[in-house]
Amino acid sequence: MQDPYPVPVFTVPARATVSVPGSKSITNRALLLAALAKGTSRLENCLFSRDTEIMVAALNELGIASSSDPLSKSIEIHGSGGNLPNRKAAINIGNSGTSARFLTAMLAACPNGDFTLDGDDAMRRRPIQKLADSLASLGCQIDTTDGYFPIRIQPNGLRGGTVKIDATESSQFVSALLMAAPLSNEPLEIQLSNPSIRRGYIDMTLAMMEQFGIASSNLVKQSDRYKISPNAYRAPKGSYSVEGDASAASYFIALPFTVGGSITIEGVSKKSLQGDITFAELAAKSGALLDWNSNALKVSLPESNGPAKFPPLSSDYYAFSDTFMTGAALAPLADDSTRIEGIGHTRHQECDRIAAMVDGLTHTGQDTLTTDATLRVNPKPLQAATIDTYEDHRIAMSFAVLGSHDALNSGKPWMKIKDPLCCRKTFPDFFDTLESARQQSLES
């Protein structure tokens, strides 16, 4: 693929059907739970991407046998019943946040062992100390590098009791503790130092733990704490189907705002476990028409002859922050300033996502104003730009949606995306899917 990649513009309103890959968040949770379960789990509609490949490779390093079939999007995991075969390993976690946090807690629950986890430069800038401190208070020896990776884990089992966690940096800290908790020697109570954290992904984790055999009676949920009793994971009966990725769907929910017309997105459900499906409701408030069926969503804009101005997708994005970049990328075409709040934690993800969006929007001619946790975009005329993605898949995909708009009324690309292959993290064929939507629209 050309780098930087010139984004082809839509010269007619969208008329297309696309499919989104399986959810990364669900795939990586399912892989870990299947590894801990007794029996063989068959996972269907899995995401095959850099992040999930990192998780599979890590589990293989720990002695968990698996077989993958990318064509059928399926993975079979031969579970360990909570008893990992290999107790010494050096694991490469790349820049996979889910792998980093989930594996750290899982390995801390082992009765013994010696493990090191390290990743790429971006991962070495992502904090782990708060999770490490919580696990250390439960009996595990964890040595970090000034609060970051690489880390060394020398476990002694989790003794249970009470642990307090500050998860304001990432709700994955809580999910990691929850998934490891059934392996503890005694019931484990996880207290939240700040109960206002994002709950969507935590609720997803709890639901999936039940799907992998943990009785709901062993999962006590309160406003400021969770109490988990020791229990055994079991492989689901039949196959386990991974939902389509709601975060990935946000780019195609947004596309009619930039090019007009309608898009049908296969693989997403209104009853999704994923909090990011909330972006669809936000789009509806700005004028999109939503038509749901059991496993697809059709998004239409009333203006059928092309894009038109629309109310900004302003919101507190705290609970569904992986989509704030999608909303921000639409800001140049809105009829008023876009105000995005609740996103301070995104400064510590794959990159400083607020700074990356400001950089890209500034290059397109926009006026921006930020605080530690907010972004405001005042729309200005678009200008040709090359976007630095900072190795962040969501920066690339969000700006590609804006780049699909024929900003210069020339029918020619006006935006270039650096490092387009960074999308391999969660949506390996994103640009092919976007181009397919454009071609379908031309042929309709």
pLDDT, tens only, 326-354: 999 999 999 999 999 999 999 989 899 99
**Cβ 132 vs Cβ 63: under 8 Å:** no
CATH number of the 24-228 domain: 3.65.10.10
**Cβ 434 vs Cβ 402: under 8 Å:** no
- Give the pLDDT score at 149: 97
- Give the pLDDT score at 168: 82
Query: How many helices (H) and strands (E) are present in the chain, helices listed first?
Result: 12, 23
- Give the pLDDT score at 262: 96
- Give the pLDDT score at 302: 83
- Give the pLDDT score at 294: 87
Measured distance CA(258)–CA(326) in Å, rounded: 11
E runs forming strands in 267-398:
289-293, 296-300, 315-316, 338-341, 367-370, 375-378, 385-387
Q: Single out the catalytic residue among 322, 388, 406, 419.
A: 322
The fold adopted by the segment(s) 5-22+243-443 is UDP-n-acetylglucosamine1-carboxyvinyl-transferase; Chain (3.65.10)
* Residue 369: count of CB within 10 angstroms of its CB: 12
Tens of pLDDT along the chain (444 residues) come to 999 999 999 999 999 999 999 999 999 999 999 999 999 999 999 999 999 999 999 999 999 999 999 999 999 999 999 999 999 999 999 999 999 999 999 999 999 999 999 999 989 999 999 999 999 999 999 999 999 999 999 999 999 999 999 888 888 999 999 999 999 999 999 999 988 777 889 999 999 999 999 999 999 999 899 999 999 999 999 999 999 999 999 999 999 999 999 999 999 999 999 999 999 999 999 999 999 998 999 999 987 556 778 999 999 999 999 999 999 999 999 999 999 999 999 998 989 999 999 999 999 999 999 999 999 999 999 999 999 999 999 999 999 999 999 999 999 999 999 999 999 999 999 999 999 999 999 998
Domains in the chain: boundaries: 5-22+243-443, 24-228
Tokens standing for residue 164 = 């307090």
CA angle 293, 73, 82 (to 5 degrees): 105
Q: Which residue has 């249970």 as its token pair?
A: 160
Residues in the chain: 444
Q: Is 322 annotated as catalytic?
A: yes
Tell whether omega for the bond before 155 is within 30 degrees of 0, i.e. cis.
no
Percent of the chain topping pLDDT 70: 99
pTM comes to 0.85
